[in-house]
Structure 1
Amino acid sequence: MSSLRFMRTFVAVARLGSFSEAADHVGLSQAAVSLQMRALEQEFDRELFDRCGRLALLNTAGQELLPEIKKLLDMYDHIRRPSQPDGQFHGQLTIGAIVSCMSILARIVSQLKTEHPGLGIRLVAGKSSELAQKLEHGDVDAAFVVSMGKRPASVRWSLLQREPLRLIVGPSVKGDDPRQILASYPFLRFDRTQHTGRQIDRVLQKLGVTPDDFLELNAIEQILGLVKDGVGVTVLPLLHTMAWGTRGDLRTLTLPDKLGLLTRDVGLIEPRDSRQQKITRAILERYKHLLASAFL
């Protein structure tokens, strides 16, 4: 099965653009990767790369071959996967998730692996944009992410939860007028390089408010901790993993109705032609069940 191993290495080189990075990815030396690619070129009787210094970019022949090799590898993985008697799941998956989903997802995966001994699942944390790229490159089989709007036609989206955007203040903050509060206290801003941060920025613009930015973080729970300590106020989605109704250390205020429905949509992305959909459906349904049962 050496040719199949070489094909997997070929896919890694095609994605990463260099033999050295592909070597790190597949756990081989750079020399071994180079030898594998030479052997593959001999087997297919054509050159597959334009080699330029450290770079190894697919030429026209390589680009034409790449989708066919991916299909062949998918077929092989499907053939060697054992049947699933009595509803048992088998196989290996890598699932990505934003940090706010990770704790619940880890519980669900742990339960599934206990119930289905032949199932292996690896979890990977990351930002939504990073995880979407990992899905495109085949580094994850599915991912729980924040919706970023338009998606490729090849990607299936399944909504998990809508998290409303709210003004969040500490117990020492008085009043209920969002504009007045935002104009009076330091603002703790969520990272504007992320979709949620840009969404919050648009909300502030619609409110006609230019807050006094104190800091900018890509860490919702850390921002909430600073709000609780009286450092400032913030606008954030109400995380579905937190029991907001029982918190006395934070106060949430609804933003003006004229701004419309303001939510951060969290859901599952996966390839439409994924052969793992029975497993990802099971994970998604268990997640929804936990949310509906108010387990928090």
Structure 2
Amino acid sequence: MPEGALATAWHLPVDSSDAVATTLYGRSSLPVIRARESKSAPVGVVGKVLRILEALDASPTGLQLREISQQTSLNKSTAYRFVAHLESEGYLFRDDAGAYVVGPKLARLGAGIAYHATLRNISRPVLTQLAKETTETVNLAVLDGHDVLYLEVLESLHSFRMASQPGMHRPPNCTALGKVLLAFLPSEQREEILPMLTFERATPHTIPNLARFRKELARVVQQSLAMDDQETDLGARCVAAPVLDESGKVAAAISVSGPITRMSRDRIQAFALATKKAARTISARLRHSN
């Protein structure tokens, strides 16, 4: 079933890291006496910045400026000067509630888990709005090796709905999310993954071989959209679109999934347009935070 299992009241079983910032200081061309004065200044600045980053690392959901000031013993004006600069450089991100969280640039200097948390923070308001508009289950996913890893799942409130959970893994060849993630990968990375796919047929609609799958990926790139039309489970459909980072590379994919009774062929275009619009919004937020 696309992006999750069709459910009434049950769910499928479910299958922060340190960020490092390095600051480089060039040699000063000022007279020796001035250089001696400035020699200790960067140390104090770095210490204050590290205190801020350590406080945020211990609070994955983010901190308000007042909380940063309290936890680092910096006055609010000093704390604001540092966090505002870190935000402008993409190392911090301010969420809709005004809390500062680790941004994509800084997360990339750490482990993937931190970057996943950043993706969730940036995407969640948009995913919430998409779920309200479509009333269906909304998903955020990335590639984990050659599998699709679900990072965020906002389930539909319908009693008959798609049910997935964060942490779930699925094969990419029969899911709309997986098709998008593979289609927008750099070609050399995609060619490393494609030979690993087994193309086990979950339903009569599952793509059976690599040749047909390559044609499907070409269509996905052309349309910036993928569909799972009962390819994982009978009775369910899903549409997915790519989230692109500042370099134009695929950072994640989002999808809307539901039963074919509600995601009918005459309504699928509306779901597709809403999903693509949300993906573009998240992409813009991701680029802006960088």
Greater C-alpha Rg:
1
Structure ranking higher on relative contact order (CA contacts 8 Å, 6+ apart): 2
* TM-score, scaled to structure 1: 0.26
* TM-score, scaled to structure 2: 0.26
